[in-house]
Structure 1
Amino acid sequence: MPIGDRLQQLIDALNISALEFARQLGEKRGEKIYHILHGRLKPRYETLEKILQTYPDLNADWLLRGEGLMFRTLPQTPLSALTLDDRLRNMEFLLFQLNERVALLQQTNDLLQQELEQVVSQHKVINLSYVNHRSDLPTEG
């Protein structure tokens, strides 16, 4: 998932506008953020650093690579203060992340299975070659 999409998810989770998000980062106008959200720009290091400083509970691994949960800790808001829609959105997001993680693990598993099959196949060839070579040797007697 592109970083622009992750930023949009963050903005949605914070329940603010892209302009308000830009202002919280110290930007007077939201042009840079809008360009990042629409894929016309990639965020610079300074922008990423501002985001992580502004939102200290934001998971840097999630922001940079899309790995893990969006926030390192749960919001301090009591669960009862969250609306049902908020809870459902959080659950949908967690399920989405889990599905992505499962897909990645399945791809990794498939690759490892292929590598294992290649190693086993090569081992059989080497073993067969060794047996054939040994049968060519004269026997003592």
Structure 2
Amino acid sequence: MTQGDRVKDVRKTLKLTLEEFGKKVGVTKQTVSRIENGINNLTDQMVKSICREFNVNYDWLMDGEGEMFSDLPQTVLDELCSQYELDDLDRFIVELYVGLPKDVRDGIKARAKDLIRKRNTSEEKK
């Protein structure tokens, strides 16, 4: 199995179109198609993006060794929950937030900053 085949396996496993997959890693659907079909090779940057964005095991993507997906983020989340005594609802909220697109997270942060600013202004007037 080639690296292109493994990229296609990841995309199909995640039920993403060429366009959706490409958007998440910052390339066009044509680029993804050319990689899957062996016309283009994976660049180092593309490998890093795929592994980071989809939690893909680097060794599997490069050489076909090990499992397709890494369990590292789950382990990190488990450690976070343990360290801060987060319950199941806390865990769900954290997973939900980190799973949001960056622009949505940025919008939430902007709104939170606005609410904090308004609260601080209100308290100063008292």
* TM-score grouping bracket, smaller chain normalisation: 0.5 to 0.7
Question: 1:66 corresponds to which letter in structure 2?
Answer: G
Q: CA RMSD in A?
A: 2.0
Q: Normalized against structure 1, the TM-score is what?
A: 0.48
After superposition, the C-alpha distances for 1:19-49 in whole angstroms (9 at most, x for unaligned) are 110001122x211111001110101111111
1:58 corresponds to: 56
Q: Which runs of 5+ in 1 are unaligned?
A: 77-141
Q: Is 1:17–2:39 an aligned residue pair?
A: no
Structure 2 gaps, min length 5 = 75-126
Q: For residue 8 of structure 1, what is the aligned residue in structure 2?
A: 8
Map 1:107-118 onto structure 2 (within 5 A).
none
The alignment partner of 1:23 has SS state of helix
> What percentage of aligned pairs have identical amino acids?
30
Distance in 2 of aligned mates of 1:54 and 1:72: 11
Distance 2:21 2:51 in 1: 12
Aligned-pair CA distance for 1:73: 2.6
After superposition, the Cα gap between the structure-2 partners of 1:72 and 1:53, relative to the gap in structure 1 and judged at 3 Å, is closer
Tell me which amino acid in the other structure corresponds to 2:40: L
Q: CA deviation at 1:66?
A: 0.3
SS in 2 for 1:10: helix
The answer for the alignment partner of 2:41 in structure 1 is 42
Aligned residue pair count:
74
- Taking the TM superposition and a 5 Å limit, the aligned residue runs for 1:96-115 are none
Name the CA distance, whole Å, in 2 between partners of 1:17 and 1:11. Answer: 7
